[in-house]
Amino acid sequence: MSKSRDLFTVAGIVVFGVLLIATNFADRFVTQLPQDAKIVSSDFDPDFRMIAAAEASAVGPRDGKFGLGRGATKREVAAWDGDISPDGTGLPMGSGDAINGEEVFAEHCAICHGDFAEGVDNWPELAGGLDTLADEDPVKTVGSYWPYLSTTWDYVKRSMPFGYAQSLSDDDVYAIVAYILYSNDIVDEDFILSNETFLDVEMPNKNGFIVDDRLTSESHFWNKKVCMSDCKSDVKITMRAAVLDVTPEDEKNEDSEDSAAVTTISNQVEEQSEALVEVVNLDSGLVEAGEKAFKKCKSCHQIGDGAKNKTGPHLNAIFGRKIGGIQGFKYSKIFKSMRDDGRVWDEESMTEFLASPKQYAKGTKMSFAGFKKEKDILSTIEYLKSFQSLN
């Protein structure tokens, strides 16, 4: 009996000691809850206590706050700081060119922005739009609108690709940006964009922005005293937009001109049917290779049974067809001009066009930069020939 009593006494002393130590630890290291407990939700109290216990020992209460966290060190800030300044400050080491960038862009960006940065559906286009900023419907792209290349680099690195942001290597970002620049005719395809050549790139709209100084330059227009006399007691709708007829309509004049022109040339197109390229002895190897090369065209052009006009006209029976001669399709001015001049698609004109659309048809809205390899041009032409009998 005495042994049991002694054992119980020892156990009690041990328990008392543990409780004493625990109490001392809590007094020292657990941050007290605020006196007004209403500002801390009971749902989060357990989490708050654990966080406070872990952090308070290193920091302690500050200015009456709970003592959670600490100031970030310079090293920690640098790890998260990805800002790139217009003067190139913050750029990491790396490089890339448009040739490699085209492949990276096709893999990570083309699904939204198109193979040639022309945009898909409502996803923004990244190329083109030069000299459109003064138009009623300006096309704002990297080439036409953005004043600083650093913005492009920073945005691609920080936010792209969509759904998998910050997964690209620095070299991939340089390559993608180089391809976007190339698509905007700002650099050549062999230009190597790097942290060392970054400032060699001159953005077309670099001088297109001004400092907003309206606070001083327009202050004399402002009334110092707000007029609050003779105000209407209520606001009423007096007219509807539909009645006012202020909703913009399609360009009727241009459409009518197009319709007249199309009507005029429709017979000419039919007359040219006899001049269509005769499809014989197609090179099956070239046709197969051309089908792969044509993938760069599929986002805008359809070909084959049931092909319809999309962003670009369908390409069935293209050879022998008058340039700009598809009825109902709205061509850019350059193609209308070629149509009026009676120019026709043949192998020679198609070869020049596929090599450099923007050089062959200056002013075209197409953002496709052209095939870099002659074999891609030849195979694409052979592939187009295989659909020559379709309308």
> Which regions of the chain does DSSP assign to beta strands (E)?
95-97, 192-194
Q: Give dist(CA 325, CA 262) in Å, integer.
A: 7
pLDDT at res. 285 = 87
The torsion region of residue 153 among left (phi > 0), alpha (psi -120 to 50) and beta comes to alpha
Please report, in angstroms and rounded to a whole number, the separation of the first and last CA atoms in the chain: 110
Say which amino acid occupies 306: G
DSSP for 242-270 reads HHHT-S----HHHHHHHHHHHHHHHHHHH
pLDDT at residue 389 above 90? no
DSSP 198: G
Percentage with pLDDT > 90 across the chain? 25
pLDDT at residue 140 above 90? yes
Stated pTM of the model: 0.46
More confident residue, 8 or 40: 8
Q: Tokens for 242?
A: 């539909």
Tell me what the mean pLDDT of segment 212-224 comes to. Answer: 80
Look at 78-82, 269-273, 307-311 and tell me which has the smallest mean pLDDT.
269-273
Q: Tokens for 48?
A: 């708050």
Tell me what the mean pLDDT of segment 203-220 comes to. Answer: 88
Q: Decide if 305 contacts 317 (C-beta within 8 A).
A: no
Q: Tokens for 18?
A: 């543990």
Question: Taking Cα atoms as reference points, which of 207, 204, 212 lies closest to residue 139?
Answer: 204
Question: Taking Cα atoms as reference points, which of 166, 118, 120 lies closest to residue 142?
Answer: 118
Q: Decide if 294 contacts 307 (C-beta within 8 A).
A: no
For 95, phi then psi, to 5°, come to: -165, 165
Q: Taking all residues of the chain, what is their mean pLDDT, rounded to a whole number? A: 78
pLDDT at res. 277 = 44
User: Which domains, and CATH codes, for the chain?
Assistant: 85-231 (1.10.760.10), 254-385 (1.10.760.10)
Q: Give dist(CA 180, CA 112) in Å, integer.
A: 14
Tell me what the mean pLDDT of segment 97-115 comes to. Answer: 90
pLDDT at residue 128 above 50? yes
More confident residue, 266 or 302: 302
Look at 1-10, 85-94, 230-239, 309-318 and tell me which has the smallest mean pLDDT.
1-10
Tell me what the mean pLDDT of segment 155-180 comes to. Answer: 93
Q: Per-residue confidence at 48, pLDDT binned at 50, 70, 90? A: low
pLDDT at residue 266 above 70? no
Cis ω for the linkage preceding 161 (within 30 of 0): yes
Q: Give dist(CA 155, CA 159) in Å, integer.
A: 6
Which residue is listed with tokens 């960038």?
Answer: 101
More confident residue, 346 or 224: 346
Estimate the crossing angle of helix 374-385 against helix 347-355, to 10 degrees: 130
pLDDT at res. 187 = 94
Bridge partners (DSSP) of residue 96 are 193
Tell me what the mean pLDDT of segment 152-167 comes to. Answer: 92
Q: Per-residue confidence at 24, pLDDT binned at 50, 70, 90? A: low
pLDDT at res. 2 = 59
DSSP 75: H
Q: Per-residue confidence at 127, pLDDT binned at 50, 70, 90? A: very high
Give the sign of the dihedral formed by CA 249, CA 252, CA 254, CA 255. positive
pLDDT at residue 210 above 90? no
